[in-house]
Amino acid sequence: MGTVAAVANQKGGVAKTTTVHALGYALVERHRRVLLVDLDPQACLTFSVGIDPDALEWSLHDVFVRKMKVDDVRRPVAGVEGLDIVPATIDLAGSEVHLLTRTGREHVLQRALGAVADDYDVVLVDCPPSLGVLTINGLSAAQEVLIPLQCEALSHRGVGQLLETIDDVKMFANSDLTVRGVIATMYDDRTRHARAVLDGVHERYGLPVLEPPVRKSIRFAEAPARGRCILQHAPSSPGAEAYRSLAATLDGCWHPQ
């Protein structure tokens, strides 16, 4: 079974989806087999890989309501051999209500992924911007958590809440869960403020900050509309290189030579 990593932060707009997509592609460049899991009813990851969520007949929602298995709904990402996705649709919002009625609701995603986990070296779970039952499923299914953090003054305020949720998941559902570290996104290296935010997170919460930070770039906004990630859209850009470097670091942790 490969490594399952949840990418989580209940604050929206911190580049969770961008991080999942870019790391997934970068790991495939490193000859890893990767499964992306879109756990967000907004389905931004699904859209970003070039799939129209509104045109999908089946999605992760159907897995949660026991109509389908993950093997039936996963799809290859077009043009990227070795990269698959379990897509989302807006129906996933209704899954939350359904999950609340199920015994062992925290483990539904973990059990579903168990059937395909051996097919992949890495599974990356894009959690929604909330601390509800969908995110708890993502954390319960994972061995590690990556926390994308926008380097602005108020961005770290929710980190404490997320860490409390992670502690609850460790206590009640997944005792082996660990935080791999913070990924600095939308980083502006022209200011000392951005580094101060990261230093504050490290000092206050003791979280490792994974290097390098990912700098702000208009390239990130352009890529999803083309159904591509930053590494495909602007492969030599600083953002693409940052994600390649992060992927190399993570790959070394997950698959030591």
pLDDT-above-90 percentage for the chain: 68
Question: What pLDDT is attached to residue 64?
Answer: 94
CA dist 139 → 56, 147, 225 (Å): 26, 12, 29
Q: What domains can be seen in the chain, in order of their start residue?
A: 3-250 (3.40.50.300)
Structure tokens at 25: 């592609």
CA distances from 208 to 123, 234, 253 (A): 21, 28, 14
Q: Which residues have a Cβ under 8 Å from the Cβ of 131 and sit 6 or more positions away?
A: 10, 161, 162, 165
Residue 140: predicted pLDDT = 97
Query: pLDDT (tens digit, 9 = 90+) per residue, 108-147?
Result: 999 999 999 899 999 999 999 998 999 999 999 999 999 9
Mean pLDDT over 212-234 rounds to: 84
pLDDT in tens, 158-186: 788 899 999 999 999 999 999 999 999 98
The residue with greater pLDDT, 118 or 154, is 118
Are 37 and 60 in contact by the 8 Å Cβ rule? The answer is yes
Mean of pLDDT values over 25-36: 98
pTM above 0.85, yes or no: yes
Distances (CA, A) of 146 to 9, 179, 184: 9, 6, 11
Neighbouring C-alpha atoms within 13 Å toward the C-beta of 136: 21
Residue 155 has pLDDT above 70, yes or no: no
